[in-house]
Amino acid sequence: MRSRTNEKVTMSHVLHRSTKQKFDVAVSGDGLMLTLADGRTVIDAAGGAAVACLGHGNRRVAEAVALQAEKLAYVHTMFFSTEPAEELAELLVGHAPGGLTRAFFVTSGSEAMESALKLAYQYHVERGAPQRTRFIARRQSYHGNTFGALAASGHPGRRSVYEPILMSNFSHVAPCFAFRYKPERETSADYVARLAAELEAEFQRLGPENVAAFVAEPIVGATSGCVAAEPGYFRSLREVCDRHGALLILDEIMSGMGRSGTQHVWEQEGVTPDLQAVAKGLGAGYIPLGALLVSQKVVDALDAGTGSFVHGHTFQAHAVACAGAIEVQKIIAEEKLINNVQSLGRYLGDALTDRFGQHANVADIRGRGFFQALEFVQSRDTNEPYAPKTGFSEILKRKALEVGLAIYPNGGTIDGKRGDHVIIAPPYNATRADIDTIVARLGSAVDAAARSI
Ligand SMILES: Cc1ncc(COP(=O)(O)O)c(C=O)c1O
Q: In angstroms, what is the span from residue 313 Cα to ligand 1's centroid?
A: 18
- Ligand 1 atom with minimal separation from the 254 CA: 16
Ligand 1 mutation pick, 143, 217, 253, 371, max ligand atoms within 8 A of CB: 253
Ligand 1 mutation pick, 51, 114, 143, max ligand atoms within 8 A of CB: 143
Position 2 scores a pLDDT of 46
**Whole-angstrom distance, CA of residue 448 vs CA of residue 453:** 9
CB of 393 closer than 8 Å to CB of 411: yes
Neighbours of 425 (CB within 10 A): 33
Q: In angstroms, what is the span from residue 251 Cα to ligand 1's centroid?
A: 9
Q: In angstroms, what is the span from residue 85 Cα to ligand 1's centroid?
A: 22
- Show the ligand 1 pocket: residues with CB < 6 angstroms: 49, 108-110, 113, 142-145, 217, 221-222, 251, 253-254, 279
- Ligand 1 atom with minimal separation from the 288 CA: 10
- Ligand 1 atom with minimal separation from the 108 CA: 10
Residue type, 415: D
Q: In angstroms, what is the span from residue 451 Cα to ligand 1's centroid?
A: 32
Q: Which 3-state string (H, E, C) describes the chain? A: CCCCCCCECCCCCCCCCCCCCCCECEEEEEECEEEECCCCEEEECCHHHHCCCCCECCHHHHHHHHHHHHHCCCCCCCCCCCHHHHHHHHHHHCCCHHHEEEEEEECCHHHHHHHHHHHHHHHHHHCCCCCCCEEEEECCCCCCCCHHHHHHCCCHHHHHHHHHHCCCCEEEECCCCHHHHCCCCCCHHHHHHHHHHHHHHHHHHHCHHHEEEEEECCEECCCCCCEECCCCHHHHHHHHHHHHCCEEEEECCCCCCCCCCCCCHHHHCCCCCCEEEECHHHHCCCCCCEEEEEEHHHHHHHHHCCCCCCCCCCCCCCHHHHHHHHHHHHHHHHCCHHHHHHHHHHHHHHHHHHHHCCCCCEEEEEEECCEEEEEECCECCCCECCCHHHCHHHHHHHHHHHCCEECEEEECCCCCCCCEEEEECCCCCCCHHHHHHHHHHHHHHHHHHHHCC
pTM, entire model: 0.97
**Per-residue pLDDT tens for 30-80?**
999 999 999 999 999 999 999 999 999 999 999 999 999 999 999 999 999
Position 11 scores a pLDDT of 77
Nearest CA to ligand 1 atom 7: 109
- Ligand 1 atom with minimal separation from the 149 CA: 4
Q: In angstroms, what is the span from residue 418 Cα to ligand 1's centroid?
A: 21
Residue spans of the chain under pLDDT 70: 1-10
- Ligand 1 atom with minimal separation from the 220 CA: 1
Ligand 1 mutation pick, 254, 275, 280, 289, max ligand atoms within 8 A of CB: 254
